[in-house]
Structure 1
Amino acid sequence: MSMSSVPLSTGTQPKGKLRYTVVIWLLIGGMINYIDRSILSIAAPEMMNDLNFTATDIGLLGTAFSWAYALGQLPSGWLIDQFGPKKIFGIGIMIWSFATFAAGIVSVLWLFILLRILLGIGEAPCFPSAAKITSKWYPKKERGFISGIWDSSSKWGPALAPPILVLIMATFGWRELFYFAGIVGIIFGGIFLKFYNDPEKSKKLTKEEYDYIKQDNEDSNAVETSTISWFSLFKYRSVWGMILGFFCTIWIWNIFLVFLPLYLLDRFAVSFAALGLLASIPWIGGAFGNIISGYVSKKMAESGRFTPMKAKQIIISISAVISAVTVIMIPFINSIGLTVTLMTVALFFISSITGNAWALATDVAPSFMVASVGSIQNFGVYFGGAFSPVVAGMIVDLTGSYTLAFISGGLIAGCAAICYLFIVKHPIQTQNVQ
């Protein structure tokens, strides 16, 4: 569809709301993404029984995924820019869905490791594609709200996974979990490749809505003629503060993602039926933490007492301290109700950190380098944070307890406050980047 972009006035609402249907693609894709990576935590108890896997083995599978996911971040961003989000995201869905399905067939650890690596490679383009699609389909003033919706998929996915997957496993078996999720992903990937289009190629998008979407696009020539070097971003203190702060956060996030259901089973011997509900509650808290903290930072900035950057730093730092305290308390609680409550509180504030950390990239980076800074942060975080599941698994195997894993994870999470409040200092000044 060829359209001339004639900016509309700020208050003008376009004829047509097709853009609001696009976020549904991103939300569903993100949820499938997180459900597929969450299957391991649900299937782990039965896999350990049937295949004689240890907690260290389960942690190693989590680490293999995280390293592959991290390494896949940087080339994914380049491929998306070169070939478009439709093709790269669609292919990624097919790759990760095949890896998920195939995991139901194999029985040898090294094959599981290879499939987890393939899962990480396939899932890597998901959120960079969502960011790219958001920039194509929404004007700037709507992007924060839209990003909050699709980013919440990283919480809704793990929240919905336990009750659905536990039911499937209780009815059929752990291998059927991988078959089911793989087939769902392949179907969604086919539908996405068939029906999604960028605004320029959409046959249903009205000219008025197209002009509204494109009304405040940046001048692409400014990006093309910029002398900014991607590698030069690593010399900035604030970039390293973001990497280190997010690393501290993702360390405990990965422990929850891999071991939360297993901990409830081992610690309280809950039934599989109860596990489905109990393991989902903390992630629902995470989803609300993401949304509420974003709203609070917005109100703080609008008050005029804080810059947008400082508002996010304050919320991140307070959230890091609270999450550290609650995580450290978890292994000392003997009540399953209070344990789930503490996990919910912890994930509420951990999600407050992750949501504001992604938004912080827009404050630290020049507008045309936001994706680069965000991908560097995510690459560094997942590469380093990949150690946490295997370290936690080794601690459990050596000590017979999760206590040290939670204490160390809580202390590391608390360090995010130091990184974001004292290391992240100033935005990158364009004229100083050579």
Structure 2
Amino acid sequence: MKTSASLQDINTLENNNAKIGGNFRWGIVTLILVAAVINYFDRSNLSIANSTIAKEFGLSSTQMGFLLSAFLWPYAIANLPAGWLVDRFGPKKIFSGGLTLWSAVTVVAGFTSGYGTLYALRVLLGVAESPFFTSGIKVTDMWFSDKERGLPTSVINTGSQIANAVAPPLLTILMLTLGWRGMFVVIGLMSIPIILLWLKFFRAPTRAEYAEIHREDDTQLHQAVSEQTKVDWGALFKRRSTWFMIIGNFCIMFTIWVYLTWLPSYLENSMGMSIKETGWVASIPFIAGILGVLCGGSLSDFLVRKGLNPVTSRKVPIVAGAAFAACSVAPVPFVHSYGLSIALLSLGYFFSQLPQGAIWTLASDIAPSDQVSSLGSIQNFGGFLGAACAPIVAGMVLDATGQFTDVFMLGAGLLLMGAISYAFFVRKD
């Protein structure tokens, strides 16, 4: 009787722990979402202040262009080791370390007095921010099952879209009030409460919580939380799916970053809008993008719960989103109605964001749990290679043709290529 009572007490305690974990995990997702918004403020501040900084430092347009791209290349490359580090040492250490470093870099950038120093700090910012989304995918893999992790992963990814929508007016107000240096300092200090909360509250799930969360998952894809794991990072490059995830994400992210870098210019130069009008109109596609990220993640979870294979369930919003985005983007340069153009641009951005949460979740469905961040970061490396190429290639096309027609057609073609890569060549090996 004593033994039975003890076992009952243990089972009751484990069940209570699992329930507590169920409430706790959404708090962690919310914390990462807030960090994502601040993360993108740190990336966007230079774009807001570019003309002011160029004037103060006496920079040419070419120098400013290199400065604006200084973040993207190191960010893309640093994603490769960042995922391995998160898998090896866990998201608590790596996320808090990266967050502390990128906050410090942003604050120090507010006190720089030369082009070279500011350029070096932007490179360092790209390295420091590389563990962010890989940490997020590791957390959702820990705390959410196959049938439910698409939505929390998408919630985390909405942080970038929220920031893209609110950064221009908010950061402009800060710059006009405090100057560009004060804006940098304030944005850097925003991360301090997040760092403290993360260090205090984040933890891995207990055995009982992990067992409850993953009780219906494929046991070959998950390991016990306390098990010592070895990450064979290089083996991922021997899989065909890894390379087509890189190619597919490159193609999709290329078009997204054409939006991020050239949309205001298109609205001003091709559609004749004023700067004031552009500031408001340019935010409409990004609002649509918030909905796209959430819809993609929710759709993939719904399909898993209906019994569809998890990998196929993630690929549905990825492939459909990329294909429909291509169909929306291609007609834009041939439309002369303001309303229809904005509608197509918004639809295109909505569909291009549909894959974003599912893309990250796909990595956790394909890779073993000790390689989730590694595969996610390798895929993100491909995406940000596309992001880094987008403003340069688009600028070259514009210099050669003087119009956006070929830019949109190139984007549509790459979106279709991305859809094909994920549809036919990415699968669980």
Q: Structure 2-normalised TM-score?
A: 0.81
Which deviations, in whole Å up to 9, do the C-alpha atoms of 1:106-134 show, x marking residues without a partner? 56554443222111111111112223333
AA aligned to 2:203 is D
Q: Does 1:293 align with 2:299?
A: no
Aligned equivalents of 1:298 and 1:48: distance in 2? Answer: 46
In the TM superposition, 1:12-23 aligns within 5 A as: 13-14=19-20, 17-23=23-29
Residues 390, 178 of structure 1: CA spacing in aligned structure 2 closer, same or farther, 3 A cutoff?
Answer: farther
2:217 corresponds in structure 1 to none
1:256 corresponds in structure 2 to 259
Is the CA contact (8 Å cut-off) linking 1:34 and 1:158 kept in structure 2?
yes
Q: Does 1:196 align with 2:201?
A: yes
Q: Does 1:427 align with 2:425?
A: no
1:247 to 230, 245, 250: 250
Residues 95, 396 of structure 1: CA spacing in aligned structure 2 closer, same or farther, 3 A cutoff?
Answer: farther
Which deviations, in whole Å up to 9, do the C-alpha atoms of 1:350-396 show, x marking residues without a partner? 11122222222233333443322222211233235422222223334
Q: Does 1:113 align with 2:114?
A: no
AA aligned to 1:388 is A
AA aligned to 2:410 is S
| SS, match of residue 331 in structure 2 | helix
2:286 corresponds in structure 1 to 283
AA aligned to 2:209 is Y
Is the CA contact (8 Å cut-off) linking 2:155 and 2:293 kept in structure 1?
no
Residues 229, 174 of structure 1: CA spacing in aligned structure 2 closer, same or farther, 3 A cutoff?
Answer: closer
State, as a whole percentage, how many aligned pairs show the same letter.
36
Q: In structure 2, list runs of 5 or more residues that go unmatched.
A: 1-9, 215-221
Aligned equivalents of 2:142 and 2:304: distance in 1? Answer: 26
AA aligned to 1:152 is T
In the TM superposition, 1:35-74 aligns within 5 A as: 35-47=41-53, 56-74=62-80
Aligned equivalents of 1:167 and 1:334: distance in 2? Answer: 33
In the TM superposition, 1:245-394 aligns within 5 A as: 245-268=248-271, 270=273, 273-304=276-307, 306-394=308-396
Larger CA deviation: 243-252 vs 136-145 = 136-145
Is the CA contact (8 Å cut-off) linking 2:75 and 2:384 kept in structure 1?
yes
Aligned equivalents of 1:143 and 1:116: distance in 2? Answer: 32
Aligned equivalents of 1:284 and 1:40: distance in 2? Answer: 22
Q: Structure 1-normalised TM-score?
A: 0.80
Aligned equivalents of 1:238 and 1:27: distance in 2? Answer: 29
Is the CA contact (8 Å cut-off) linking 1:170 and 1:272 kept in structure 2?
no
Shift of 1:282: 1.4
Aligned equivalents of 2:340 and 2:322: distance in 1? Answer: 20
Aligned equivalents of 2:127 and 2:164: distance in 1? Answer: 20
Residues 390, 111 of structure 1: CA spacing in aligned structure 2 closer, same or farther, 3 A cutoff?
Answer: farther
| SS, match of residue 428 in structure 2 | coil
Aligned equivalents of 2:258 and 2:193: distance in 1? Answer: 28
Residues 272, 395 of structure 1: CA spacing in aligned structure 2 closer, same or farther, 3 A cutoff?
Answer: same
Is the CA contact (8 Å cut-off) linking 1:42 and 1:262 kept in structure 2?
no
Aligned equivalents of 2:13 and 2:149: distance in 1? Answer: 17
Q: In structure 1, list runs of 5 or more residues that go unmatched.
A: 201-208, 429-434
1:205 corresponds in structure 2 to none
Is the CA contact (8 Å cut-off) linking 2:149 and 2:301 kept in structure 1?
no
Is the CA contact (8 Å cut-off) linking 1:246 and 1:354 kept in structure 2?
no
Larger CA deviation: 143-152 vs 306-315 = 306-315
1:163 corresponds in structure 2 to 169
Question: How many corresponding residue pairs?
Answer: 413
Residues 193, 78 of structure 1: CA spacing in aligned structure 2 closer, same or farther, 3 A cutoff?
Answer: same
Is the CA contact (8 Å cut-off) linking 1:6 and 1:211 kept in structure 2?
no
Which deviations, in whole Å up to 9, do the C-alpha atoms of 1:229-275 show, x marking residues without a partner? 43222222222111110110111122222333344344456555544
Is the CA contact (8 Å cut-off) linking 2:87 and 2:372 kept in structure 1?
no
Larger CA deviation: 96-105 vs 318-327 = 96-105
AA aligned to 1:188 is P
Residues 247, 195 of structure 1: CA spacing in aligned structure 2 closer, same or farther, 3 A cutoff?
Answer: same
Is the CA contact (8 Å cut-off) linking 1:136 and 1:198 kept in structure 2?
no
Residues 145, 39 of structure 1: CA spacing in aligned structure 2 closer, same or farther, 3 A cutoff?
Answer: same
| SS, match of residue 427 in structure 1 | coil
2:233 corresponds in structure 1 to 230
Aligned equivalents of 1:61 and 1:337: distance in 2? Answer: 34
Aligned equivalents of 2:327 and 2:304: distance in 1? Answer: 27
AA aligned to 2:75 is Y
Is the CA contact (8 Å cut-off) linking 2:254 and 2:390 kept in structure 1?
yes
Is the CA contact (8 Å cut-off) linking 2:84 and 2:371 kept in structure 1?
no
Is the CA contact (8 Å cut-off) linking 1:56 and 1:393 kept in structure 2?
no
Shift of 1:279: 2.7
1:215 corresponds in structure 2 to 212
Is the CA contact (8 Å cut-off) linking 1:103 and 1:112 kept in structure 2?
yes
| SS, match of residue 18 in structure 1 | helix
AA aligned to 2:283 is S
Aligned equivalents of 2:21 and 2:130: distance in 1? Answer: 35
Which deviations, in whole Å up to 9, do the C-alpha atoms of 1:118-154 show, x marking residues without a partner? 1111111111222333345556655333222212212
In the TM superposition, 1:102-141 aligns within 5 A as: 102-106=108-112, 109-138=115-144
Aligned equivalents of 2:33 and 2:110: distance in 1? Answer: 26
AA aligned to 1:120 is G
Larger CA deviation: 113-122 vs 44-53 = 44-53
Is the CA contact (8 Å cut-off) linking 2:251 and 2:418 kept in structure 1?
yes
Is the CA contact (8 Å cut-off) linking 2:82 and 2:374 kept in structure 1?
no
Shift of 1:161: 1.2
